[in-house]
A = this chain, B = another copy of it.
């Protein structure tokens, strides 16, 4: 796929000198082994693996500062790496350079339960964080499919199944410590819940995919584990009915915590992979958070909407273990899909539209899938108007690849025409740079100006989001 990308020109730095300096500073925490390099160019989806020239395993902000200073001196790219689960080539190294692996910076530094916040290093994964929080009665809600690192989730402005209720990373990061392109270390905010003190650098860095600075500490908002949780699955006769149930739920203001769509093919894939026994029809997975009375009320309201649309019966999952299995299956959807057509690659797309256009957008997409004969289940965080199509592609079949590419382009164009976005949560990486202009036009020039100003040597993850 990388052959289709216009990479632009980036003057090569002095890699040899950088490697010598890094070796002197980091010794065996610098690796140039082929396998390590390839693992750090890994990406979950179909983009080519573009390994960095070397990997440094950082253990502190000071380590990151030193890598940045050495790379700046020798004009060598730096690509931050968390768990390698990004989907748009964010950790690839199209210009070579140094991957800075942050997975050993994995400490939860402070939990301020009384203020509903905590401070973590970027290598902490979302599941580890919630394990550490268990005793506090608090949790961190953002849950992309993979057990991603918090640093990576900051980078892509990640969200997931709970975003409809709890927001995305944009809404749940209070402040960041970051190493900028000149090696300076900044704090972008405080633990105050709100502030009007200057430009919102926190949210400028959230979603910047390591192109403006490398995040080394994150202050996160936490939420109380709800007194009551209820949920289950609700089948529908048609995809349209399922979508319309979602639209009605959101428009009614029911504060649903999770409302996820799986189309019939996805239910089939998940039944097989996750050992579920669901009817293979379009299905919503739901969860309600609140007090005992509150979740009862919410779920009754939803039940009425579903019934009006010919959906149901809503099957309750009272047992927390059963619920956990359902949600694990939802998180594993992408991996389940790969078994629908073993041996091929999966392309995870990710668009988001205003909720009123959800049914129309999904149905037109499904029609394209059927017309093109693609194996491509649809899943989505539909309460936010966000959905994914996982297209199974034989990368050796050039005609099929071209067909899938034009399908994806049509999908993105449709979403943008509906006043939506080319990516709800996966980010831009190098996979979606070509869509930014169509979506945001002149705003992309402003992004380039910011990138040039904050990273004049273009050493921070060059080639991602914007090309300068």
Contact = CB atoms under 8 A, between A and B. Distances in A.
A185 B443 CA distance: 8
Contacts of A199: 204, 207-208, 212, 447, 450, 465
Interface string A215-257: 0000000011010000000000000000000010011110000
A419 interface: yes
Interface stretch (A44-52, A110-118, A126-134): A110-118
B454 A192 contact: no
Chain A contact residues (Cβ within 8 angstroms of B): what range?
Answer: 35 or more
Given A157-B200, A192-B424, A208-B199, A354 B115 contact: yes
Given A196-B427, A450-B453, 11 more contacts: A114-B356, A115-B356, A159-B194, A186-B441, A186-B442, A191-B419, A193-B384, A197-B435, A199-B447, A223-B253, A452-B453
| Protomer copies | 2
A444 interface: yes
A422 interface: yes
A415 B450 CA distance: 31
A408 interface: no
A424 B194 CA distance: 6
Contacts of A353: 192
A173 B184 CA distance: 31
Interface of A: 112, 114-117, 156-159, 163, 167-168, 170-171, 180, 184-201, 203-204, 206-208, 212, 223-224, 226, 247, 250-253, 290-291, 293-294, 297, 350, 352-356, 384-386, 415-416, 419-428, 432, 435-436, 439-447, 449-450, 452-454, 465-466
B168 A444 contact: no
Contacts of A226: 253
Residue from A171, A253, A385 with most neighbouring chain B CB atoms (10 Å): A253
A185 B426 CA distance: 27
Given A440-B187, A440-B188, A441-B187, A114 B200 contact: no
Contacts of A204: 199-200, 203-204, 450
19 contacts: A116-B355, A157-B196, A167-B171, A190-B421, A191-B354, A192-B419, A194-B386, A194-B421, A194-B424, A195-B424, A196-B426, A197-B422, A197-B432, A197-B436, A198-B465, A199-B207, A200-B204, A446-B454, A453-B453
